[in-house]
A = this chain, B = another copy of it.
Amino acid sequence: MFEIESRDKETRARSGILKTGHGDIPTPVFMPVGTAGTVKGILQQDLIDEIGARIILGNTYHLYLRPGTEILKASGGLHKFMSWNGPILTDSGGYQVFSLTGNRKLTSEGAIFKSHIDGSKHVFSPENTVDIQRIIGGDVIMALDECAPFPCDYKYARKSIELTHQWLDRAVTRFRETDPLWGYDQALFPIVQGSTFDDLRKKSAEKIASVSLAGNAIGGLSVGEPAEEMYRIIEIVNEILPEDKPRYLMGVGTPVNILEAIERGIDMFDCVMPTRNGRNGMLFTGEGIINIRNRKWIDDFSPIDPDGPSPVSLYYSKAYLRHLVISGEILGAQIASIHNLAFYMRLVTEARNQIGKGTFRQWKNHMIKKLSERL
Binding site for B on A (CB under 8 A): 36-38, 40-46, 66-67, 71, 74-75, 80-83, 298-299, 301, 311-312, 315-317, 319-320, 323-324, 326-327, 329-331, 333-335
Q: How far is the CA of A36 from the CA of B38 in the complex (A)?
A: 26
Contact A334 B330 (CB under 8 A): yes
Contact A71 B299 (CB under 8 A): yes
A330 contacts across to B, CB distance below 8 A: 38, 40-41, 330, 333-334
Query: Out of B315, B326, B333, which one reaches A83, CB within 8 Å?
Result: B315
**Given A71-B299, A301-B74: A323 and B37 within 8 A (CB)?**
yes
A335 contacts across to B, CB distance below 8 A: 43
Contact B74 A327 (CB under 8 A): no
**Given A299-B71, A301-B74, A334-B334: A312 and B36 within 8 A (CB)?**
no
Task: Name A44's closest neighbour in chain B (CB-CB).
Answer: B315
The listed residue with most B CB atoms (<10 A of its CB), out of A40, A67, A326, is A67
Query: Out of B46, B75, B301, which one reaches A301, CB within 8 Å?
Result: B75
Q: How far is the CA of A75 from the CA of B300 in the complex (A)?
A: 9
Contact B334 A83 (CB under 8 A): no
| A103–chain B nearest beta-carbon distance, Å | 19
Task: Name A333's closest neighbour in chain B (CB-CB).
Answer: B330
Contact A323 B74 (CB under 8 A): no
16 A–B contacts, CB within 8 A, in A order? A36-B329, A38-B329, A38-B331, A40-B329, A40-B330, A40-B331, A43-B334, A43-B335, A45-B315, A66-B327, A67-B319, A71-B319, A75-B319, A75-B320, A81-B323, A83-B316
Contact B71 A323 (CB under 8 A): yes
A75 contacts across to B, CB distance below 8 A: 299, 301, 317, 319-320
For the A-B complex with A40-B330, A75-B320, A83-B316 known, give 15 more contacts whose Cβ atoms are closer than 8 Å: A36-B327, A37-B320, A37-B324, A38-B324, A40-B331, A42-B331, A43-B46, A43-B331, A71-B298, A71-B319, A75-B299, A80-B301, A81-B320, A330-B330, A334-B334
Task: Name A323's closest neighbour in chain B (CB-CB).
Answer: B67
Q: How far is the CA of A80 from the CA of B326 in the complex (A)?
A: 19
Task: Name A316's closest neighbour in chain B (CB-CB).
Answer: B83
A333 contacts across to B, CB distance below 8 A: 330
| A342–chain B nearest beta-carbon distance, Å | 13
| A181–chain B nearest beta-carbon distance, Å | 16
Nearest 9 interchain pairs by C-beta? A41-B330, A38-B331, A67-B323, A74-B299, A38-B329, A36-B327, A75-B301, A66-B327, A83-B315
| A63–chain B nearest beta-carbon distance, Å | 10
A41 contacts across to B, CB distance below 8 A: 330-331, 334
| A313–chain B nearest beta-carbon distance, Å | 12
| A147–chain B nearest beta-carbon distance, Å | 24
A312 contacts across to B, CB distance below 8 A: 43
A74 contacts across to B, CB distance below 8 A: 299, 301
Task: Name A50's closest neighbour in chain B (CB-CB).
Answer: B43
Q: How far is the CA of A301 from the CA of B70 in the complex (A)?
A: 13
Task: Name A315's closest neighbour in chain B (CB-CB).
Answer: B83
Q: How far is the CA of A16 from the CA of B317 in the complex (A)?
A: 35
Task: Name A39's closest neighbour in chain B (CB-CB).
Answer: B331
A331 contacts across to B, CB distance below 8 A: 38, 40-43
